[in-house]
């Protein structure tokens, strides 16, 4: 992987009257960039520092390429095997069916089922189905009177709750079924949170180390209002980025896009609830944006080579 980052330090410099504009990241990473006016010698020192920083962090980057996916996968696996879901299936006398999932937490899961004429049934499962697990069912009349609680075993077959009206006619039937694993929305939210959190820590660690090495060279340098615009930054990056790094970026973007396409296809084929769609749209849009940026870099690189020829 030698030469992966060669030349990238030049992207942050632009020749101007009296020297060069050097555009550095915000010291807090998020926020407007800092822009300095530097001479030839200062540019050489800053560029050398950036090259040395990239050289030093390369082993860390390579280790994290294996450690980050392992950590993310391990945490997601832990969440999946330690979670449980309660599926509530309600069928009324007309055949209309309602289904919803809820997490079974450390203290179980509770809920209320609407009955006829304002009555209801409260339920509580003690935990995932299995030995010792129970389901407690309590009827509540329309006037608010609470009936006796019925406690039954809660096993893999689930528990059935029948709700009748004042004339003892069956109006609704609910089935409480437990299973191992989280709800799809909880799994997607946890996976997104873990991925963003660990990637954020990884990026922050690199930024803090880079700024600690670079900031002493920037102390006392004059500021400038001249900047390297986004379009110009893309042009400069396309001109300096190595083919190896561009290939790595393209592979990552393709993997993100393929994963998003598979998830979206599964969502529509399986007719998943619409409340799960946002968890799929966010990574799908992100993968499209990243893919479009890399495709644009490739086009710029080809144009520059053609014009250079």
pTM, 2 dp = 0.72
Q: Does a structural domain hold residue 151?
A: yes
For residue 6 the two structure tokens come to 């060669």
For residue 24 the two structure tokens come to 């550095």
Last residue of a domain, one of 164, 189, 223: 223
pLDDT digits (tens, 9 = 90+) for 202-227: 999 999 999 999 999 999 999 998 88
pLDDT digits (tens, 9 = 90+) for 102-159: 999 888 999 999 887 788 999 999 999 988 899 999 998 888 889 889 999 999 899 9
User: Domain check: are 160 and 89 in the same one?
Assistant: yes
Last residue of a domain, one of 188, 223, 258: 223
One DSSP character per residue, 61-105 reads HHHHHHHHHHHHHHHHHHHHHT-EEEEEEEEETT--EEEEEEE-B
Q: Does a structural domain hold residue 270?
A: yes
Number of domains in the chain: 3
User: Domain check: are 126 and 203 in the same one?
Assistant: no
Last residue of a domain, one of 148, 180, 212: 180
User: Domain check: are 236 and 301 in the same one?
Assistant: yes
User: Domain check: are 259 and 297 in the same one?
Assistant: yes
Query: What is the domain extent for residue 171?
Result: 84-180
User: Domain check: are 88 and 121 in the same one?
Assistant: yes
Which residue reads 């001479």 in tokens?
39
Extract the residue ranges of the chain whose pLDDT is less than 70.
1-6, 270-276, 279, 308-309
User: Domain check: are 251 and 266 in the same one?
Assistant: yes
Q: Does a structural domain hold residue 187?
A: no
């Amino acid at each position: 992987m030698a030469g992966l980052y060669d030349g990238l330090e030049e992207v942050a410099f632009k020749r101007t009257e009296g020297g060069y504009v050097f555009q550095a990241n915000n010291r807090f990473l998020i926020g407007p960039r800092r822009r300095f006016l530097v001479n030839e010698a200062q540019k050489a020192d800053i560029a050398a520092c950036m090259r040395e920083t990239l050289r030093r962090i390369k082993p860390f980057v390579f280790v994290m390429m294996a450690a980050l996916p392992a950590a993310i996968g391990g945490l997601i696996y832990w969440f999946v095997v330690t979670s449980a879901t309660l599926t509530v299936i309600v069928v009324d006398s007309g055949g209309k069916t309602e289904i919803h999932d809820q997490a079974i937490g450390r203290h179980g899961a509770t809920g209320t089922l609407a009955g006829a004429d304002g009555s209801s049934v409260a339920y509580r499962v003690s935990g995932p189905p299995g030995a010792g697990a129970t389901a407690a069912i309590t009827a509540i009349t329309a006037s608010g009177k609470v009936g006796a609680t019925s406690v039954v075993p809660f096993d893999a077959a689930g528990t059935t709750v029948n709700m009748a009206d004042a004339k003892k006619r069956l109006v609704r039937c609910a089935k409480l079924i437990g299973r191992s694993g989280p709800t799809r929305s909880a799994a997607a939210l946890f996976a997104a949170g873990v991925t963003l959190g660990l990637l954020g820590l990884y990026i922050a660690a690199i930024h803090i180390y880079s700024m600690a090495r670079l900031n002493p060279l920037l102390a006392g340098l004059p500021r400038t209002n001249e900047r390297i615009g986004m379009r110009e930054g893309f042009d400069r990056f396309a001109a300096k980025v190595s083919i190896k790094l561009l290939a790595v970026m393209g592979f990552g973007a393709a993997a993100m896009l393929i994963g998003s396409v598979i998830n979206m296809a599964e969502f529509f084929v399986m007719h998943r609830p619409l409340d799960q769609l946002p968890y799929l749209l966010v990574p799908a849009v992100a993968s499209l944006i990243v893919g479009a940026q890399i495709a644009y870099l490739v086009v710029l690189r080809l144009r520059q080579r053609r014009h250079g020829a």
